[in-house]
Structure 1
Amino acid sequence: MEILHSNIIGEGEPILILHGFLGMLDNWKTIGTKYADEGFQVHLIDQRNHGKSFHSPQFNYDVMVADLNRYMSHHNIPSATVLGHSMGGKVAMLFACKHPEKVEKLLVADIAPKYYPPHHQDILNGLNAIKIREIASRQEADKRLAAYIGQVGVRQFLLKNLYWVEKGVLDFRFNLEVLSERMEEVGENIGTTDFYAGPTLFLRGDKSEYITDSDMMEIKKHFPNATLETISNAGHWLHAENPKQFLSKSIPFIKE
């Protein structure tokens, strides 16, 4: 069985970090380095069909939980703090519910345990319209993507996934075909009876609508020891938009 690709930094108790949809481990390098400086061994992980991890036609939360379980066994990690953002947050939640003995603490960044309707179609349409093998530069990819996605920051986030397969040939690291076909899986919820009683911290951006005040009842149903903190001046990419506050709220929780 294939093992997820990761970048491991620092020494100490392990923290596993899971990126969001169409992301990669590099998105968490700044935060991960700070955690390592605080005395932790940080595992920045590429999930299946993302980054440098393996591509597979199977893509849902159950297989991603199994990937993480296999990763921990491979690296001899009996238990860890698990942090996930967006799609990675759903993986982290489900993993904690299915393997509570392997999760010391759970951190969930800007996602709630509820169903989200598909909302990445414009992004996927734009990525598919680029026809990546026909272009010769990142600038050209950005220009084509701009016709679908106006926000420069979102385009930069997506185009981080570009790499040179060989001289003159660009491609995406993520598995665009499978992710386009299986996009609905990203919005799926954890099971109605899934439950994790360990220490849990939900973090949301004050400009994001992914976690609302009314979601707290559902959060508490699945995670009775959960608290919710809000990061100011931040949207869905709260760790990138306000890293200082993200760290100031998460480090004390991890260390306590």
Structure 2
Amino acid sequence: MELNYKAIGEGKPLIILHGVFGSADNWLTIAKELAEHHFKVYLLDQRNHGDSPHSDEFSYQAMADDLHEFIEKHELDKPFILGHSMGGKAAMKFSVNYSDEWEKMIVVDIAPKAYPVHHDKILTGLKSIDLDAIKSRGDADKQLSEYVPDLGTRQFLLKNLARNESGGYKWKINLDVINEKIEAIGEGQEDRLAIEKEVLFIRGGKSDYVQDSDIILITQLFPNSEVKTIEGAGHWVHAEKSEEVIKLILDFLR
């Protein structure tokens, strides 16, 4: 699949993969800063997200294959790979399946373990929005607030609303397929081949996505890895503590 992307800067290629319900723009601020340090940063919209094509196939294998296709098409020589949440899982899948195609990897606030489905209210809320009836984003926000009380989360989710040709609204994400296959997003890393390359795991101190107990599995699969904790940050560590995240990234990639 040919993914939509944005490219910023010049230098060593660095590919960034966003999380579920996200898009390339989620990391744009950090990408601009990294580009100042001699990286060419590629921000990808993963399949069924952003402006990339929709598909009934939605799995980490498919996302890993998309990344492989992107690297081949753009003739990138062993890029650095960074993935947040779902993007981190896709990066880990890619790292095993295409172990010769990358140099270093950064995984942000996700572990290679399986996670139970925990996006039920978000999906129910998104599906409850009557796209034919709403006249503004405010209308959509009001409907979504019945299921998602946090304003910041709603603002993030509603970035997926776009105007259609008739002047109404449509979803940029493939909401039906994401809803149908959300269990696949929680799947653990089934591949048990140890990867010896350098990998950095960044976790938020207030996030429960990467527990101390998960470090055993991380080091089994990625023996040459380290886990760094950014205190005071939750799952959206890159949005909450961007300067600290940038410093960790630069220190690791240099």
TM-score by length of 1: 0.97
CA–CA separation in structure 2 for the residues paired with 1:79 and 1:43: 13
3-state DSSP of counterpart to 2:192: coil
Pairing 1:161-200 to 2, within 5 Å after superposition: 161-200=160-199
Q: Which residue of 1 aligns with 2:18?
A: 19
Q: Which residue of 2 aligns with 1:248?
A: 247
Tell me whether 1:117 sits opposite 2:124 in the alignment. no
Residue type matched to 1:114 in 2? K
CA displacement, residues 70-120 of structure 1 (integer Å, 9 cap, x when unaligned):
011111113110000000000001111111111110100000010001000
CA displacement, residues 187-222 of structure 1 (integer Å, 9 cap, x when unaligned):
001124133211100000011000011111100010
Q: Is the 8 A contact 1:201 1:229 kept in 2?
A: yes
CA–CA separation in structure 2 for the residues paired with 1:81 and 1:129: 39
Aligned length: 254
Residue type matched to 1:158 in 2? L
Q: Which residue of 1 aligns with 2:57?
A: 58
CA–CA separation in structure 1 for the residues paired with 2:175 and 2:5: 20
Structure 1 segments unaligned to the other structure (5+ residues): none
Residue type matched to 2:206 in 1? K
Q: CA deviation at 1:166?
A: 2.5
Q: Which residue of 2 aligns with 1:105?
A: 104
Q: Is the 8 A contact 1:11 1:36 kept in 2?
A: yes
CA–CA separation in structure 2 for the residues paired with 1:210 and 1:133: 36
Q: Which residue of 2 aligns with 1:96?
A: 95
CA–CA separation in structure 2 for the residues paired with 1:24 and 1:91: 14
CA displacement, residues 39-82 of structure 1 (integer Å, 9 cap, x when unaligned):
10000000000000000000000011000000111111131100
Q: Which residue of 2 aligns with 1:34?
A: 33
CA–CA separation in structure 1 for the residues paired with 2:131 and 2:182: 20
Q: Which residue of 2 aligns with 1:224?
A: 223
Q: Is the 8 A contact 1:98 1:194 kept in 2?
A: no
Tell me whether 1:209 sits opposite 2:214 in the alignment. no
Q: CA deviation at 1:168?
A: 2.7
Q: Is the 8 A contact 2:96 2:191 kept in 1?
A: no
CA–CA separation in structure 1 for the residues paired with 2:248 and 2:152: 24
Pairing 1:118-157 to 2, within 5 Å after superposition: 118-157=117-156
3-state DSSP of counterpart to 2:164: strand
Residue type matched to 2:48 in 1? N
Structure 2 segments unaligned to the other structure (5+ residues): none
CA–CA separation in structure 1 for the residues paired with 2:33 and 2:74: 22
Runs of 4+ in 1 over 3 A off after TM superposition: none
TM-score by length of 2: 0.98
CA–CA separation in structure 2 for the residues paired with 1:194 and 1:157: 35
Q: Which residue of 2 aligns with 1:43?
A: 42
CA–CA separation in structure 2 for the residues paired with 1:190 and 1:217: 14
Q: CA deviation at 1:237?
A: 0.5
Q: 1:75 to 1:213 in 2, by over 3 A?
A: same
Q: CA deviation at 1:167?
A: 4.7
CA–CA separation in structure 2 for the residues paired with 1:243 and 1:133: 37
Residue type matched to 2:124 in 1? N
Residue type matched to 2:142 in 1? K
Q: Is the 8 A contact 2:206 2:235 kept in 1?
A: yes
Q: Is the 8 A contact 1:136 1:168 kept in 2?
A: no
Residue type matched to 1:4 in 2? L
